Structure formats: C-alpha cells, structure tokens
C-alpha cells in the first residue's frame, strides 16, 4: 500500500473520530463503537499474520528466497497492527466520553490529539527508518510508547482515586491491559529487529546453521509475547462486552438512549 493511500485512509478515519467527538448523537456513538471494534479486529488479525509469516521465515524446508520474502512481508503486515494500536486510546476515550464518563477539557483534548500524533510517528518510523532499531525515529517511537504506558497507568490511578471509574471498573482494567500490551509490543519489536537483520544477512549470503539457530531463538522469544498479546486483547474484548462491576451494561442500546435523552434535556 503506497503512502498516499495510507494518508487518505488515515484522513477519513481521523475525520470520523473528530466528528463524533463533537457530538452526542446516537449515530456518532454507534460510529465510534464501530471504529473501536474495527480497530480491535485489525489489531489482532495482522498480528496473527505476523506470527504465521514468522513460522515461514524459520522454516528451513522452503527455499531461502521464500524465507526472505516472508521476512520482508512481516513488517508490512505488522504496520496495520501498530496503526490500530496508536488510534485505540483516542477512539476508546471518545467512546467513554459519549457514553457518559466525563473527562476534563484538557484531558479530552489530549485524548483526541494523541491518535493523530502517535499514528504519524508510527508511519514516519516505518517509512523513514524501516527496520533499523537504532535510528533516531525508532528510538523516539520506543520512548513515546514508554511514555504512553506510564501515562495510562498514572491516569488510571488518578481516575480510581477520585472515583470517576467506581461504576465502571472494567474501563480501568482495560486501560491497564492496554499498558501491558504496549510493553509487550516493545519487547516483540526488539526481538523482531534481530530477525530483520538476519533476513538481510540471508539475502546477502544465504542461509547457514548458525543463522538459522539465531533466527529460531529470536522468533521463539517474540512469539511468546505475541501469544500473550492475543490473550490480553481477548481479555480486553471480554471486559468491554460483559463489563463486570457495572450494575447494568451502560453500553447497551437501551441505556445509551437514556443517557442521550438526559444529555438532550440538560
């Protein structure tokens, strides 16, 4: 997918988020809920694809050219997951605001801006630095992810402390899971960077027993955290669906209609 098409899709998505963030209509609530679900699907699906292609990369029974092709396509597929992760907090924050969990204006502004900023950094890192983990953009991207992880945990602690999430403890749990997923992503990325260098070496000089062993070790260590990420994503999806700790499901259509009615009467 070329850069122009990426930018077009991103522009359409961010426009939808911005439109929904400025309104409490039922249509916009449904739109943001759909975007939230779509991001979940396109985060998990490509991540599974990266796992499957990593199996091909370490398969010594296929040709070196096929293994190199598998290694080259992994970061392309992985970019989809990274893009979805970068937008998830913004879409989720707008969704909770529309559902009745109020945020201070400055926090809401940060939530809305986070998605475009994080996504831009993700795309720049991919297109400008490629798989080089030592590039300045790659280091900035990793540092930004650590900052997000810490900020999410601090935000949850503050929100729990002031009681804003007492009626929806599952939201706090989902945010903690998101922070954990960010940390898993950093670990997977560092280990896949070893594979990227191995692919370059294989393409230049062909496979060897030593190179195969190094790739097997790096891939195995990355796959552990890939699978752990799927489990965490499944848990987050279950929390959003069943919403434990709430007296009733505030995301149901009936309760959403009452929230909208109350907002309109105000």
CB 205 within 8 A of CB 256: no
Handedness of CA 206, 209, 213, 219 (dihedral sign): positive
**265 inside domain:** no
pLDDT of residue 235: 96
CA–CA gap between residue 248 and residue 209 (Å, rounded): 58
The CA–CA distances, whole Å, from 255 to 99, 100, 125 equal 9, 11, 42
**264 inside domain:** no
pLDDT of residue 130: 57
Q: What is the mean pLDDT of each run of 10 residues along the chain (266 residues)?
A: 52 53 65 91 95 94 94 93 94 88 87 92 83 73 95 93 89 96 94 88 91 93 96 95 75 49 48
Residue-number span of the structural domain to which 24 is assigned: 3-257
Q: pTM above the 0.85 mark?
A: no
pLDDT of residue 251: 47
**138 inside domain:** yes
pLDDT of residue 104: 86
Q: How many CB atoms lie within 10 A of CB 118?
A: 22
The total domain count for the chain is 1
CA–CA gap between residue 247 and residue 129 (Å, rounded): 49
- In 3D space, the residue among 141, 36, 74, 171 whose CA is nearest the CA of residue 163 turns out to be 171
CA–CA gap between residue 112 and residue 89 (Å, rounded): 9
Q: Which three-class secondary structure string do you get for 227-252?
A: HHHHHHHHHHHHHHHHCCCCCCCCCC
**64 inside domain:** yes
CA–CA gap between residue 97 and residue 85 (Å, rounded): 19
Q: Inter-axis angle of helices 64-99 and 105-124, to 10 degrees?
A: 170
**266 inside domain:** no
CB 151 within 8 A of CB 179: no
CA–CA gap between residue 51 and residue 40 (Å, rounded): 17
CA–CA gap between residue 77 and residue 188 (Å, rounded): 14
pLDDT of residue 253: 45
DSSP single-letter state for residue 102: -
């Amino acid at each position: 997918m070329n850069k122009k098409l990426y930018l077009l899709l991103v522009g359409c998505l961010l426009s939808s988020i911005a439109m929904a963030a400025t309104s409490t209509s039922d249509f916009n609530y449904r739109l943001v809920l759909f975007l939230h679900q779509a991001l979940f699907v396109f985060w998990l699906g490509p991540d599974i694809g990266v796992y499957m292609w990593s199996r091909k990369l370490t398969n010594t029974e296929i040709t070196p050219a096929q293994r190199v092709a598998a290694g080259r396509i992994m970061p392309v597929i992985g970019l989809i997951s990274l893009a979805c992760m970068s937008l998830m907090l913004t879409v989720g924050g707008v969704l909770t605001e529309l559902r009745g969990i109020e945020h201070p204006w400055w926090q809401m502004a940060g939530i809305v801006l986070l998605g475009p900023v994080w996504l831009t950094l993700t795309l720049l890192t991919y297109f400008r630095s490629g798989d080089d983990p030592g590039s300045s953009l790659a280091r900035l991207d990793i540092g930004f992810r650590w900052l997000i992880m810490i900020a999410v945990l601090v935000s949850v602690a503050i929100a729990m402390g002031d009681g804003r999430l007492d009626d929806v403890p599952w939201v706090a749990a989902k945010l903690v899971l998101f922070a954990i997923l960010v940390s898993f992503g950093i670990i997977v990325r560092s280990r896949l960077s070893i594979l990227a260098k191995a692919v370059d070496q294989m393409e230049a000089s062909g496979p060897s027993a030593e190179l195969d062993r190094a790739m097997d070790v790096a891939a195995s260590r990355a796959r552990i955290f890939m699978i752990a990420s799927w489990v965490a994503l499944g848990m987050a999806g279950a929390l959003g669906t069943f919403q434990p700790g709430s007296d009733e499901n505030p995301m149901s259509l009936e309760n959403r209609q009452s929230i909208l009615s109350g907002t309109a009467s105000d």
